[in-house]
Amino acid sequence: MWGFLIRRVLGGILILFIICAVTFMLFYVAPGHNVAKLACGKTCTPQSVAQVAHQLGVDKPVWQQFADYLGGIFAGRTIGQNHCPAPCLGYSFRNDQPVLETILGRLPVTLSLTLGAVVLFLIIGVGLGMLAALRRGKAADRFAMGFAVLGGAQQIFVLGPFLLFLFVYSTHLMNVPTYTPFFGNPLKWATGLILPWCCLAIITAAYYARLTRSTMLEMLSEDYIRTVRAKGMGNANVYVKHAFRGAMSPVATLLGLDIAVLLGGAIITETVFDLPGVGQLAATSVQDSDLPVMMAVVLLGAAFVVTANIVVDVVYAFIDPRVRLR
C-alpha cells in the first residue's frame, strides 16, 4: 500500500512541476508578454521598465527565472526591495500585495461556496438517482430523469441571472447574495449563499442523478443481490447495505474531482453573483493582466485537481486491492 501511495504522490509532484513549467512559459516568456512593462504600468519610461525588469529578475535567462520562481515557493525570495517568505508566489502587479496573502483572503468565500453546493447536489442528485432506480419506469423515475435532463442542459451564466431575477429583483423573496464569515454569523452566512448553492446544485445534481440511477440498477441486477434476496433479506437491507454501497464508488470518484474543480476556480459563479472569491480574483487578474495572480490561481486549481486524484486513487486502493497493482 505504501509503495502505491508513494508512486501516486511522486506522479502528482511531477505533474505539478510540468504544469508549473508550462504555465510559467505561457505567462512570463510567451511573445507579447512584457512582464516588466505590465508591472510598471502604461506611463513608464523605457528606463523605468528596465529598472523594474531588473527588480523582478525578468532580465535573467529563462531557466534562471524559473529556478528563482520554484525556489521562492520552497524557500522564499527577494523581489525588488521586498522579501517574500515561503511559499512565495510573487507580488500582485495591481496592488503590490503578496499573491498568497491575496488568495488566502479570498479562499474562505470559494470554500463556502464549494462545500455548501456539494452538500446540496449530493442530497438532490443521489436522492433522485436512488428514487429513480427503485421506481424504475414509474412516475418518480420519469420525474427524476426529467429533472436531470433539464438541469444538465443549464449553464451558470443563464441559470444564475434567472434565479436572481426571480427571487431577488422580481419577487424580493431573498436578498442579494453576499458573503458573511461563518463564525461571524452562521445564519447570515447560509442565507447569503443559498442562491449560488442552488444554482450549482441544480446543474451538478443532474449528473449525479443519472450516475446514481445507472449504477444502482447495475448493482440490483448482480447475481449476489439475487442471492441475498433469496436468503430472505429485506428490501431496505438489500438497497442500503449492498446495492447503495456498491453504487457509491463511481459517485465518490466524480465527487472528488468535482470538489477540486469547484475549489480551483468557480469563476463564472462568483462573477455572476458578485462574490469576492478566488474565481472572481482570477477574472479580475485576467482583465488587469496581473500575471503573478493569474499563474498562482492556475497552480492552485492544478494542485486541487492533482490532490483530488491522489485521494481518489488511495480510496479505490482500499476498496479494491487490485488497483494497487496498476
Measure the CA–CA gap between 229 and 235, rounded to whole angstroms: 8
Is the preceding omega at residue 276 within 30 degrees of 0, hence cis? no
Domain C-terminal end among 50, 84, 118: 84
Q: What pLDDT was estimated at residue 37?
A: 67
Please report whether residue 122 resides in a domain. yes
Residues 143 and 200 in one domain: yes
pLDDT tens string 245-300? 777 777 877 887 787 777 755 778 888 898 888 888 888 888 877 888 888 888 88
Measure the CA–CA gap between 160 and 184, rounded to whole angstroms: 26
Q: Which residue has the cell 463564472?
A: 268
pTM of the shown model: 0.81
Residues 197 and 149 in one domain: yes
Q: What pLDDT was estimated at residue 227?
A: 74
Residues 76 and 144 in one domain: no
Residues 164 and 305 in one domain: yes
Please report whether residue 129 resides in a domain. yes
Measure the CA–CA gap between 111 and 87, rounded to whole angstroms: 20
Query: Do 12 and 309 contact (CB within 8 A), yes or no?
Result: yes
Residues 157 and 299 in one domain: yes
Please report, for the domain that includes residue 250, its CATH number. Answer: 1.10.3720.10
Please report whether residue 256 resides in a domain. yes
Residues 197 and 283 in one domain: yes
Residues 182 and 60 in one domain: no
Domain C-terminal end among 49, 84, 119: 84
Domain C-terminal end among 84, 118, 145: 84
Q: Residue 318 sits in which domain range? A: 99-325
Please report whether residue 90 resides in a domain. no
Residues 141 and 288 in one domain: yes
Measure the CA–CA gap between 95 and 106, rounded to whole angstroms: 15
Count the domains in the chain. 2
Please report whether residue 226 resides in a domain. yes
Residues 69 and 204 in one domain: no
The H or E element spanning position 67 is helix 62-75
Residues 109 and 33 in one domain: no
Q: What is the mean pLDDT of residues 82-105?
A: 84
pLDDT tens string 119-174? 998 899 888 988 888 888 888 889 888 888 888 888 888 899 999 999 999 988 88
Query: Do 324 and 1 contact (CB within 8 A), yes or no?
Result: yes
Measure the CA–CA gap between 202 and 210, rounded to whole angstroms: 13
Residues 19 and 136 in one domain: no
Residues 108 and 254 in one domain: yes
pLDDT tens string 33-67? 566 666 676 667 777 777 777 777 777 788 888 88
